[in-house]
Structure formats: structure tokens, C-alpha cells
A and B are shown apart, each in its own frame.
Chain A
Amino acid sequence: MPKESREIIITLIAGTSTLLLLGALMISFLFLYRNRHRKLLREREQLKLSYERELLKSQLEIQEQTFRHISQEIHDNIGQMLSLAKLNLSTMDPSLPDNLEQKIIDSKKLVGQAIYDLRNLSHGLSTDYIADMGLVRAIEHELEMVRKSGNYETLFESEGKSYPLDKQRELIIYRILQETVNNIIKHAASQKIIIHLHYSQEELTLSITDNGKGFDLTPLNQDASFGLGIRNMYNRAQLMGAGFKISSTLGHGTSVVLSVPVEAANTRT
């Protein structure tokens, strides 16, 4: 084969191979990119699904808590008042006018108070009451119910100009607060609950502090079955892009801090 012909063939082979390789790389890149992108979208979809699942769970838990509170309120408070009113009415003696008048006044007061408490309770029956009254008012309402039990001193402070977050996020924040307060009531043996809400341009910070007996956080990192409620709160915070921090000192109480970035709070769906 002449030298010139050989050189042409080598050029032809090199050129064709390079171009075909380029084509193969292009197609491979296309496959790779699409696969990665699809995987990313699937993951995002999954995250959205689990967020929605958690949201639904939170709604159900809030509802459950509300019903528990209502049943307790009816049994301990309204029921007692109405029973007392009934007792007053059944023990009325027309032959004792002074006593009769007092009993009527007392019964009216009791029935009036029962009506007032029932009206208050009915507000809490609406599943959208957090959205309706806003986060600050919902927290105040929650604390009011705790205070009414007579076992706790409560303090609520809101700092900075409050702004609404989207409904779903407010619901999750409220549920985390409710769960934390429940934990304090069940385990902390404290007398005081302090809630601090801080609205800043960057984030919304909610801190819940008690002066109870505190607990050792070490098992949280070792035993997966320990502190399921806390893990649940942590997961929920993560799903809305928020930070969740818990600190506790034995004998000095516990503090839970939830930090929700404003950007995440307003842009996530």
C-alpha cells in the first residue's frame, strides 16, 4: 500500500473513530443526565409525599388532643357545673323563699358559666382553628388550657413583628409545640413552662423551656427506640427545612428550640 494511501486511511480511521466516540459520549451523557434527573425528581416526590403524610398525621394528632381536652373539659368542668345546677334546682323548696332566690341565682350563674365554657370549647372544635386564629393566638390558647389545670405557671413571650407562615408549616410547628408541652406534663415534673417566639427576617424561632427534672440525652444517640416522640418531632422539623435542638440538664429542666427559616417556610409546598 502506498505511503500516501496509508496516511489517508489512518486519518480516516482516526477521524471516524473520534467522531463516533463523540457521538457515543453524547448519548451516554444524555442517558446519565436523564437518569440522575429522574432519580432526583423521584426523591423530591417521595419527600413531598412523606411531608404530606406527616402533615396529615399532625392534623390527626392535634384533633385527637383537642377531643381529649374537650372530653376532659366536659367531664371535669361543664358536667360538674350542670350537675350542681341540677342539684340546686332539685333541692329548691318553695316554702323557703330566701333560699329559693339564692338557688335560682346560683343555678343561673352555673348554667351561664357552662354556656360560656361550651362556647369556648366549640371554637377549638374546628380543625382549622390554628389557621383561623394564627400561630400566636393558638399558642396562647394552648397555654391557657395548661394554666387552667392549675398545676403550671406559664409564660409566653413573642418578640419581633409577627408574620404568617403557610398553613401547613404553622400546623407542624403547633403540633411540635403541643407534643413538647405534653412531654413536659407527662415526664418533666415542672412547675413552670416558658414559651418564647422570635420573629426575625431570616427565621422564626420557637423555644419551649421548663424547670423540671430534666433528662439524660445520651440514650437518644444510642437506642433507636428511645425518645420516639422526640425523633418524630425532629423528622417533622427536617421535613419543613427547620432546625430542631433539644438540650437538657438533670435537675434544671429541658429546652427545645425550633428554628424555621423564613425562606423555606414561604417557598416550600
Chain B
Amino acid sequence: MFHLAFFIYFEMAAFIVSLLTYRALKGTAFRLFPFFLLFIVATELIGTYMTYILRLRNNSWLFNITTTLEYIFYAHIFSLTLRDPAFKTMARRFMAIYPMVVLLNLLFVQGFTEFHSYTVVLGSLFMIILCCLFFYELLLNPLEGELRKVPMFWISTGILFFHLGDLSFDLLFNLLKNDATGKEFFSSINNNLILILYSCFIIAFLCQRSLVKSLSH
């Protein structure tokens, strides 16, 4: 039996909450979240299995696929929730172009056996921009309810903090990849950021549920 990292339980919790609140998520921009979270949990479990049971030293290819799909999924959520047509188009274009850029990076620059840190930096920067655009739209429409009850506010906050926190590591990835202490240090930061990210998702799902409840009453 292998030991699961603490943050995986948070990802599982987010998946379970998304299932429990699925009726409220259905028909909204968040309807694909349970499938996405199932995919994330499965990836983490497979990754852990590969590392601890199969003793495979390199599982970068798995996380290259996961992170790429993750960015595409977040961009999809933003393309549905942003209001400005120009911002929507920007998110949609990212969804179309980003996988191609990742592929080109893996084919010609970093290779399939390496973690695609360059395109991860690009993806993270774009996620930060999309979050800022969402907050900008919130500034323009200050009347729409209390901020802490807006599901997308929590999702954006989680995504923003996660990518802001990860950005430094991604930028220093080439320096850190052979530094065990640095990697370990980053892991502790990253694990906490994952907790923040999935806690925000859980709050967002619960907000969505109470929003639907208050509308149906």
C-alpha cells in the first residue's frame, strides 16, 4: 500500500462536493467540473502509482497532458463566464492555439520526456490574465450580489493564487530540476497552493448550490 499526498484528499473532496452539488452545476458554466476533477484525481492516483509502485522515474508525459488539458479547461470556463466578447474570443483562441504550442514545444524544444515548463509558464501567465479580466468585469458590475457569494469569484481566486504561486517555480524550473532541496521546498509551496485551489473550488460549488436554492425559493 502506498501513501497518498495530503493534497490528493483535497482534490477528492472537491470531486465529491462537485458530484453532490451537480444538480446546481448542471446547466451552468461549471457543469464539466465533476468530469474534470475525476480526471485530475485519476491522474494524481496514476502518477502516484507509477512513482511508488511501478518505480518509474519519469512521469512527465502524464503531467504534460494533464496540465495542458487543465489550462484548456480553465480557459473554457472563462470563455463561458467572461462577458466581453473580445475577452471570450481571447479565451477561445487560447484553447485552440495552446495545445499546438505545447505540441511544438514537446516536439522541438523540451522533448516528451521533459516537463513542458516553458509552455506551463505561458499557460500560467494566460490564466492570470484571464483571472484579471474576470476581476475587471466584476469591478465594472459592482451591483451583482455579494462577492463572496459569486461562485466564479472563488474559482478565479483559486486559479489566480495557484498560478501566481507556481509561476516563480516554473520560471526557475531549469535551475531547480537538479536541486533536491529546491524541489522539496517547491513541493511544500505547491501542495499548499493546491489546497487553496481546491478549497476555492469547493466553496464555489457550495455557493452555486445556495444560489440555485435561493433562486428556486
Q: Using CB atoms and an 8 Å cutoff, list the residues of chain A in contact with chain B.
A: 1, 5, 8-9, 11-12, 15-16, 19-20, 22-23, 26-27, 30-31, 33-34, 37-38, 41
Could you say which residues of chain A place their CB within 8 Å of the CB of B169? 12, 16
User: In the complex, are the beta carbons of B139 and A30 less than 8 A apart?
Assistant: yes
B52 located at the interface, meaning its Cβ lies under 8 Å from any Cβ of chain A in the complex? no
Partner of B182, one of A12, A19, A38: A12
Contact status B164-A19, CB under 8 Å? yes
B168 at the interface (CB under 8 A from A): yes
Residue of B147, B171, B172 touching A34 (CB-CB under 8 A): B147
Given that A12-B176, A33-B142 are contacting pairs, would A5 and B181 also be in contact in the complex, using a CB cutoff of 8 Å? yes
Point out the residues of chain B lying under 8 angstroms from A38, CB to CB: 142-143
A31 to B168, CA, bound (A): 26
Given contacts A1-B181, A38-B143, 9 further A-B contacts (CB under 8 A): A5-B181, A9-B181, A12-B182, A12-B189, A19-B164, A30-B147, A33-B139, A34-B138, A41-B142
**Chain A residues within an 8 Å CB radius of B168:** 11-12, 15-16, 19
Given A26-B160, A33-B142, verify A5-B165 contact (CB < 8 Å).
Answer: no
Q: A8-B182, A12-B176, A38-B142 are in contact. Are A30 and B135 (CB under 8 A)?
A: yes
The CA of A34 and the CA of B142, in the complex, are separated in Å by 5
Check: B72 CB closer than 8 A to any chain A CB. Answer: no
Contacts of A1 in B (CB 8 A): 181
Q: Which of A8, A23, A34 contacts B175 (CB 8 A)?
A: A8
* B165 surroundings in chain A (CB, below 8 A): 16, 19-20
Chain B residues whose C-beta falls within 8 Å of the C-beta of A15 in the assembled complex: 167-168, 171-172
Which among A8, A16, A23, A31 is the interface contact of B179 at CB below 8 angstroms? A8
Interface of B with A (CB < 8 Å)?
132, 135, 138-139, 142-143, 147, 157, 160-161, 164-165, 167-169, 171-172, 175-176, 179, 181-182, 185-186, 189
State how many angstroms separate the Cβ of B50 from the closest Cβ of chain A: 26
In the assembled complex, the Cα of A16 lies from the Cα of B166 at a distance in Å of 7
Interface of A is mostly: helix
Q: Which residue of A lies closest to B179 (CB)?
A: A5
Alpha-carbon distance between A209 and B215 when the two chains are bound, in angstroms = 59
> Which residues of chain A are near B138, meaning CB under 8 Å?
30, 34
> In the complex the two chains form, what is the Cα distance from A16 to B171 in whole Å?
11
The complex places the Cα of A243 from the Cα of B132 at a distance, in Å, of: 45
Question: Is there an interface contact between B147 and A9, defined as CB atoms closer than 8 Å?
Answer: no
Bound CA–CA A16/B132 (angstroms): 18
Name the residue on B nearest A23 (C-beta): B164
**Smallest beta-carbon distance A28→chain B, Å:** 11
B176 and A26 form a contact (CB under 8 A): no
Report Cα–Cα, A185/B176, bound state, in Å. 91
Are B185 and A20 in touch, CB under 8 angstroms? no
Closest CB in chain B relative to A106 CB, distance in Å: 71
Residue of A nearest to B180 (CB): A5
Residues in B with CB closer than 8 Å to A30 are 135, 138-139, 147
Complex Cα spacing A9 to B185, Å? 8
From the candidates B167, B172, B179, B185, name the one contacting A19 in the complex (CB within 8 A): B167
CA distance A31 to B143 in the complex (A): 12
Chain A residues near B139: list those with CB within 8 A: 30, 33-34
Q: List 6 A-B pairs, minimum CB-CB distance, nearest first.
A: A15-B168, A19-B164, A37-B142, A34-B142, A16-B168, A23-B164
Give the shortest distance, in Å, between A11 (CB) and chain B (any CB).
Answer: 7
B160 partner residues in chain A, CB cutoff 8 A: 23, 26-27
Contacts of B164 in A (CB 8 A): 16, 19-20, 22-23
> Which of B135, B142, B147, B161 has the most C-beta atoms of chain A within 10 angstroms of its own C-beta?
B142
A12 vs B185: C-alpha distance when bound (angstroms): 9
Select from chain B the residue with minimum beta-carbon distance to A34. B142
Kindly provide the distance from the CB of A43 to the nearest chain B CB, expressed in whole angstroms: 14
Cβ A26 vs Cβ B132 within 8 A: yes
Q: How far is the CA of A2 from the CA of B161 in the complex (A)?
A: 30
Q: Which residues from chain B contact A27 at a C-beta distance below 8 Å? A: 135, 157, 160
